[in-house]
Chain A
Amino acid sequence: MNARAPVHQGRLKSPFYPRLEQLDFVNEWHEWKGYSSADSLYCEEMEYFAIRNSTAVFDLTPMTKYLIKGPDALDYLNRLVTRDMAKIRPGRVAYAVWCDDQGHVIDDGTIFHLREGEYRLCSQERHFAHLLASAIGFDVTITHETEDVAALAVQGPTSFSVLDSMGLDGLDQLKPFGLMHFDFQGVELMVSRTGFTADLGYELWIDPRKAIELWDALFDAGKLHGIRAIGTHALEQARIEAGFLAAYMEFLPADETIRTGRSRSPLELGLDWLVDFKKPNFNGRRALAEEKRSGSTWRLVKLDIEGNKPAHNSYIYSNAKAKGGEIGFITSATWSPVCKQNIALGTVRVPHGQPDSNVWVEIYYQREMHWNRMMAKATVVDKPFWWPARRGATPPGPY
């Protein structure tokens, strides 16, 4: 008998790691689905402004990816997610959310219609067991392909210019939520006009064996367009400005939630527009129809908060005196450098949190070993905090 080497202990390195390492000056990393992922590479603030001002590159490889294909692929996805996937033609991408039978959100993610009948589902969390259970009775094959696809987010006003100079012909015609396939040094490069920043931006998907070549080509092309690699912290600020949800922040995956009442429905997350009750059956439909009839418990709100102290982990009240107890809490908060606003996402009990209404947020902040508490007035806003016209312009300008 020979000893078997143990599985890799510690963290995995993405195929882009050698380049990230070269650009890393602060050595701040965290674990993301087993991979080392940078919090920041040199300066959070400058990284953030790369997103909003030039081009930021973020390593997306640890995102969970599944390939779904087979004769029943469309039927399968239509039963899995709440929106109507029949409307998503090949070459298009859909943001989608999927629920358990109780109508509680398991996760959200993007579904790429790669080719007729072939899809890639991409999400923060892993769902292989759920996807396979959902495949009982369907003629589909589902392949876990996280390690087989390396991915980069290329986001920011000059991102089109960068990719254009890389020689990706025809990219100018790609609309938001569209995808195109290119040849890159003999392998397929998939480019989708998607992202987590609400800015002009793309995501690049490629065979990991060509990852370094892609990186080099990209940075070469980006030299004159202010391209910079960034870490998670900068991206997180942009994410909140866009009002996008994150698992474990705005919701907990329902299949991992232990306590009753701690998960959320898509209706409670402001995703009504993704729930298509015209579809006769999808996971959670019956429960969601009932919730629509009888009313939700929670509502996700975007908050514009007075002052400049970020409202991390704060309770939310309906009045400045905190009468009646808290009505909810903040799930994500940040100072928005581009809007110069104190912004947050939070979850409050219905009927609170109507658009344009006011709530109060209890903020604790520290100044030189001294803690202060303030009740800050906040306004519930309807639209994302940042949603520039360039995000959707097709063809994109040379911003």
Chain B
Amino acid sequence: MTDKYDAIVVGAGHNGMVCSALLAKAGKKVLVLEANDQVGGAAVTREFADGYSVSACAHLLYQLQPEVRKELKLSPQMASEDMTTIALAEDGNHLRIHGDNVEGATESDAEQYRRFRKRMTRFSDLLRKYFNKTPPRLGSKAFTDLLTLGQLGLDVRMLGKEEMQEFLRLIGMNIHDEVTERFEHPLLRGAISLDAVLGTHLGPRSPNTIMTYLYRQAGDHGRTATPSGGMGSISEELGHVARGAGATIRTGMPVKRIIIENGRATGVETESGERFNSFTVISNADPKRTMMQLVGAKHIETGFTKRIHHLRAKGNAAKLHLALDGLPTIAGFSRKDYAERIVIASDEHYVERAFNPAKYGESSPLPVLEITFPSFRDTSLAPTGKHVMSAVVQYAPYERKGGWNEAAKTEFMQAIMQTLANYMPDIEQRVTASELLTPADIESEFHISGGHWHHGELTLDQFLFVRPVNGAAQYRMPIDGVYLCGAGAHPGGGISGAAGRNAARAILNREKAA
């Protein structure tokens, strides 16, 4: 028998490390077990070709919660900050969005955009407040639940009559209607639509996409940044902080199961057969993997099993990494533009049409892309004079008809390269190596069921009180001692740390109450 820990965290994703750091800081003896050889989960920097490295999954930082930064005293080094979004036009008349300003559109669009941003900022700030709290239980008579619910009600009312009406109206609406009602410039409509659907199985016309847009804003108000050394450096810093606070992090230690004895968690067993004991096991893994594989249906009830089984977590975002022997030519680009965030989404219809095939298990013949050249500002990522392109590409449905075999990947890769070539005519010649990670690859390499960014679709039926599923929104699973601290829990994914922080606080509060 090894020593007993106060808590064991399964998975050293960023949320797992935020959670363990906070627990360790509170004096808990914490062990973190990570399957891969490096910490970070989907926030890692990996070499994908000789001398070329890249943020392997998440590549932009825009949601890291100020509370997390502050409490863990994080000061990540940024290669680029407050990036401009450039929506590409084939003819070089690109649209540039920076903060609340749009360049390249009409004055009316610019004005509308400022208004739109103002409202979105107000709403996302409201949501953000609750992203950093444990969701209250409906119908509960507990003081904290009633308090949070009351506060939520009050905060919504405090928006003022008109804004409250707008909030209640917009929250269920789709981004398509909002952009078509407001904006004339197709690229502006396209870029906003893209922001609303990245990482989801939704198209701009799907109701609910205002909510996903707001979700993305709930942090740095949509301002994007790339950390020096790629996303892995954030994870390394988090690992450093967690260790510094006293947590033990062991990599290369895949957990086989969470040990349940007499109806409660008593520890974990690793693939190698080692056993670690603790009455508190916190899973950074996604809800499906946690409950169905690590815990096992035998230990949970039928209704809950069914809910986890039906949890929608089928990713659509693929990740493309290109090693380039030089920057591709883009019409109308000045050199500094390569440091920015570049999107391909010619209008909202383009995004919708890219989504259509995904509904039928087919990948988009004309995909939407969010592109960065991280090596432009960060020379550590590529050999001198060479470059790396990192792109999120949609839609690549996890459940592709016929599966993600080589032929399917080749077909999708061709579609992407053709799309890129419309804007970067010489891209084909520049590429010396490439890597395409489909959701299926992301599932197997990063151990995320369905390869989904958010560990579970970010729709209102899997949100707030019912995230990840009805009956488990307070980080506690319906089995004593098992907790969730990853993106599958409230509020959701993205490099935000909110789920990890909320989980740590919920666990500490519970202990205090006991």
Contacts and interface: CB of A to CB of B under 8 A. Distances in A.
A31 to B, nearest CB: 29
Given A137-B292, A280-B260, A75 B298 contact: yes
A280 B297 CA distance: 13
Nearest to A137: B297
Interface string B290-327: 00100011111111111001000000000000000000
Interface stretch (A11-19, A85-93, A153-161, A282-290): A282-290
A283 B298 contact: no
B301 A285 contact: yes
Contacts of B478: 101, 286
Contacts of A133: 302, 305-306, 309
A100 B263 CA distance: 18
Contact of B299 (A101, A134, A136, A281): A281
A122 interface: no
Contacts of B309: 133, 136
B297 A284 contact: no
Given A280-B260, A286-B478, A136 B303 contact: no
A96 to B, nearest CB: 15
B305 A137 contact: yes
Interface in A253-289: 280-286
A100 B306 CA distance: 11
A280 B302 contact: no
B75 interface: no
Contacts of A79: 297-298, 301-302
A56 interface: no
B301 A283 contact: yes
Contacts of A285: 263, 301
Contacts of B304: 101
Q: Which of A72, A80, A133, A285 has the most CB of B within 10 A?
A: A133
B262 interface: yes
A130 interface: yes
SS of A interface (majority): loop
B301 A136 contact: no
A281 B302 contact: no
Interface string B130-164: 00000000000000000000000000000000000
Interface residues of A, number: 20
Given A283-B302, A286-B478, A136 B297 contact: yes
B18 to A, nearest CB: 29
Nearest to B303: A101
A128 interface: no
A138 interface: yes
Contacts of A138: 297-298
Contacts of A101: 301-304, 471, 478
Contacts of A283: 301-303
Contacts of B300: 281
Q: Which of B260, B261, B296, B305 has the most CB of A within 10 A?
A: B305
Contact of A284 (B296, B301, B471): B301
Contacts of B262: 280
B260 A130 contact: no
A370 B296 CA distance: 64
Interface in A128-146: 130, 133-134, 136-138
B307 to A, nearest CB: 9
Interface residues of B, number: 20
Contacts of A137: 292, 296-298, 305
Nearest to A277: B263
Interface string B260-271: 111100000000
A205 to B, nearest CB: 27
Q: Which of B261, B301, B303 has the most CB of A within 10 A?
A: B301
A136 B263 contact: no
A100 B261 CA distance: 22
A100 B298 contact: no
A137 to B, nearest CB: 3
Q: Which of B261, B297, B304, B478 has the most CB of A within 10 A?
A: B297
Contacts of B306: 133, 136
A282 B299 CA distance: 8
Contacts of A281: 263, 298-301, 479
Q: Which of B298, B299, B479 has the most CB of A within 10 A?
A: B298
Interface string A12-48: 0000000000000000000000000000000000000
B298 A286 contact: no
A27 B377 CA distance: 91
Interface in A97-137: 100-102, 130, 133-134, 136-137
Nearest to B264: A280
Contacts of B296: 137
B263 A280 contact: yes
A284 B300 CA distance: 10
A282 B305 CA distance: 12
Contacts of A280: 260-263, 299
A137 B304 CA distance: 12
B300 to A, nearest CB: 7
Nearest to B296: A137
Contacts of A72: 298
Contacts of A136: 292, 297, 305-306, 309
Contacts of B305: 133-134, 136-137
A46 B375 CA distance: 94
A80 B298 CA distance: 10
B296 to A, nearest CB: 6
Given A136-B309, A280-B262, A100 B303 contact: yes
Interface of B: 260-263, 292, 296-306, 309, 471, 478-479
Which 9 A-B residue pairings sit nearest by Cβ, starting from the closest?
Answer: A137-B297, A101-B303, A280-B263, A134-B302, A101-B301, A283-B301, A133-B306, A280-B262, A283-B302
29 contacts: A72-B298, A75-B298, A79-B297, A79-B298, A79-B301, A100-B302, A100-B303, A101-B301, A101-B302, A101-B303, A101-B304, A101-B471, A102-B303, A130-B302, A133-B302, A133-B306, A134-B302, A136-B306, A137-B298, A138-B297, A280-B263, A281-B299, A281-B300, A281-B301, A281-B479, A282-B301, A283-B301, A283-B302, A285-B263
Given A79-B298, A136-B292, 9 more contacts: A75-B298, A100-B302, A137-B297, A280-B261, A281-B263, A281-B300, A281-B301, A285-B301, A286-B478
